[in-house]
Amino acid sequence: MLGSVDARGRPCLRVDLLGARAGFLAVLDTGFNGELMMSGAAAAKCGFSISSVQTRVEVAAGSTAVVNEARGTVVWMGVQRHVEVLVHRQQPPVIADEPVALIGTRLLTPHRLTIDFDAGTVEVAEQES
């Protein structure tokens, strides 16, 4: 999978969804150990099934937040993959081509992540054996 470093210096990837729905842009966050995190509005737009189950998670600077759990299916590395999504309550401003999700290390595992900030490129690849 190929992505790019955006104008704000964030490594980003476009994640595809099944069917006719468009995918979404996400920021790679190696400090997040889940699969995906996004707002409720973004999760609903992706067709993810949001449950009423809530969990407390640690976020930036050691603070905590309450999030809902959701499930969905994305196309990851060319294959359908069922993912766990943490859904937060904050509704970020809607800006065209702005990332709407965070990709965590659980989704990146066991792949190799290469970010070249100078060239502005991002690559997630299968591990070579």
Predicted local distance difference test score (pLDDT) of residue 127:
84
Q: Please give the model's pTM, rounded to 2 decimal places.
A: 0.89
Tokens in use for 88? 């937060």
Pairing mode of beta strands 24-28, 101-103: parallel
Q: So what's the pLDDT on residue 98? A: 82
Domain map (residue ranges) of the chain: 2-125
Q: What is the pLDDT of residue 96?
A: 57
Report the C-alpha gap between 119 and 98 in whole angstroms.
20
pLDDT for res 57: 86
**pLDDT tens figures, 81-110:** 999 999 987 765 555 568 889 999 999 999
* CATH top class, domain 2-125: mainly beta
Q: Identify the segments of the chain with pLDDT beneath 50.
A: none
End-to-end distance of the chain based on CA atoms, in angstroms?
Answer: 18
- Which pLDDT belongs to residue 63? 83
> What tokens appear for 27 in the block?
């920021």
**Residues 70, 55 contacting (CB under 8 angstroms):** no
CB 127 within 8 A of CB 108: no
